[in-house]
Amino acid sequence: MDLRGRLIPDYRIDTPVDAPLEYRPAVTWRCERCGKLPTRGPCTCGKRCYYCRHCLIFGKLRTCDRLVTDPRPLDPVRPDHHTELNLTSDQQRIAEAIVRTIDQRKRLLVHAVCGAGKTPMLFPGIERALSTNRRVLITAPRADVVRELTGHLRRAFQQATIVSLFGGSEDRLGIGDITISTTHQLIHYRACFDVVFIDEVDAFPYRTDRTLHRYVRQATAPGASLILLSATPSLRDRRLPTVRLMRRYHGFPLPTPRLQVPYGKHDVVDWVLTHAGKPRLLFVPQVEALETWQTCLQQQGITCETVHAADPDRITKVARFRQTTGVLLTTTILERGVTLINVQVAVLDADHSFSSAALIQISGRVGRSADFPEGDVVLFANDRSDAMYEAIDHIKRANREGFR
């Protein structure tokens, strides 16, 4: 087993390794894998060892365990050229800024609206990194975003080794020329990525979980370039050198949400029927509301499915929804990282639990295709919230800036 760049428990090593390995205690006053404080309890070694409860999903670590790495340098990166691009002048400006950041080994925030076409803007920078023997990491907080990015990167870079890491992926513990990973999976890596892109840097849970920030720092090699990507960056991220793109690649404005306050179930049913023949995505604030609204719609003869983060069939359901003009009820799991052609969007109880950033991202699902650049976004609510008005104001300001 090749352990270079990876920190794993020694009890997982089941094949000989032809290299001197570095061993360290797995748990001292803190967990040496995730950095959290341990708990003391009975252990299989017969003593009362400290163990980490916070990263149990990756395997139990105790005081009597060891973590191991292979200190040899990683294998050379294979250069590769991306497929032909057709970038707009604004996209080309962002792409050149990313290439300069990589050449200078600096940091950059790319503040681009939803649907600006951020992914192809990364390709020239990735190509430059590979040509200079630098290993690339693209990380995002959510597995759906990782799956979407993996498809784009594999089509664009057909010679490079691309590894995709998320819960249940087949590439577990792998390292590619290009690695695409959820931030959680970076717990296993140490100082092995020379160019790091963090997509959807403002997304939950990365936005609020400092442990995930630690994982990214540990996986990043000294002197690496760091590029953050977001449509709704925090004030903290805006302190970095920033390039902005407030216009979608196809030149049409962002759809501005309209409010319906107050509303009843018949209003939602009327909206669904009005857009018959188009895919319709309905967001709810809690998982518990999914079944309630599904029953309501089915009583009106409207067939629909539900999806949420813990749904074991969510990948199949989303894939099926892409091929239909049906109705899908969802939590905020689909607020970002998913491109659906000609989709129409409604937010139910928009005054409950939805942040302005979430409402902006949800609105950004509409009109992403050049063939269907417009669409309807409606916020159903029974009260008015600051988040709703902040989201609408943000989108209007972005449109004004994008069309100056």
Can you give the pLDDT at residue 44? 80
Helix extents (H) in 50-142: 89-104, 118-131
Helix orientation angle between 265-274 and 288-299, rounded to the nearest 10 degrees = 70
Alpha carbon distance 374, 169 (integer Å): 35
Length of the chain: 404
254 near 367, Cβ under 8 Å? Answer: yes
Q: Residue type at 361? A: Q
121 near 87, Cβ under 8 Å? Answer: yes
Residue with tokens 């390709």: 123
Contacts of 109 (CB under 8 A, 6+ apart): 227, 228, 230, 233, 237, 238, 240, 241, 242, 243
Q: Is 44 exposed, middle or buried (0-12, 13-18, 19+ CB in 10 A)?
A: exposed
Closest among 198, 188, 193, 189 to 220, alpha carbons compared: 193
Closest among 206, 182, 177, 209 to 193, alpha carbons compared: 177
Cross-strand bridge partners of residue 225: 195
Sorted by where each begins, the domain ranges of the chain are 8-69, 89-245, 258-402
136 near 193, Cβ under 8 Å? Answer: yes
Q: Does domain 89-245 have CATH number 3.40.30.10?
A: no
Alpha carbon distance 77, 221 (integer Å): 15
9 C-beta neighbours (distance < 10 Å), count: 17
Please indicate whether the domains covering 89-245 and 258-402 agree at the CATH topology level. Answer: yes
Alpha carbon distance 319, 324 (integer Å): 9
Contacts of 89 (CB under 8 A, 6+ apart): none
Alpha carbon distance 354, 390 (integer Å): 11
Q: Is 99 exposed, middle or buried (0-12, 13-18, 19+ CB in 10 A)?
A: middle
Contacts of 301 (CB under 8 A, 6+ apart): none
**pTM of the predicted model as reported, rounded to 2 decimal places:** 0.91
Q: Which two three-digit tokens encode residue 3?
A: 């352990």
Per-residue pLDDT tens digits of the chain, which is 404 residues long = 678 888 888 888 777 777 788 898 999 999 999 999 999 988 888 788 899 999 988 888 999 999 998 888 888 999 999 988 899 999 999 999 999 999 999 999 999 999 999 999 999 999 999 999 999 999 999 888 999 999 999 999 999 999 999 988 888 889 999 999 999 999 999 999 999 999 989 888 898 889 999 999 999 999 999 999 999 998 889 999 999 999 999 999 999 999 999 999 999 999 999 999 999 999 999 999 999 999 999 999 999 999 998 898 988 999 999 998 999 999 998 988 788 999 999 999 999 989 999 999 999 999 999 999 999 999 999 999 999 999 999 999 999 988 77
Q: Does domain 258-402 have CATH number 3.40.50.300?
A: yes
Peptide bond into 79 cis (omega under 30): no
Quick one: how far is CA 205 from the chain centroid?
Answer: 10
Alpha carbon distance 335, 361 (integer Å): 6
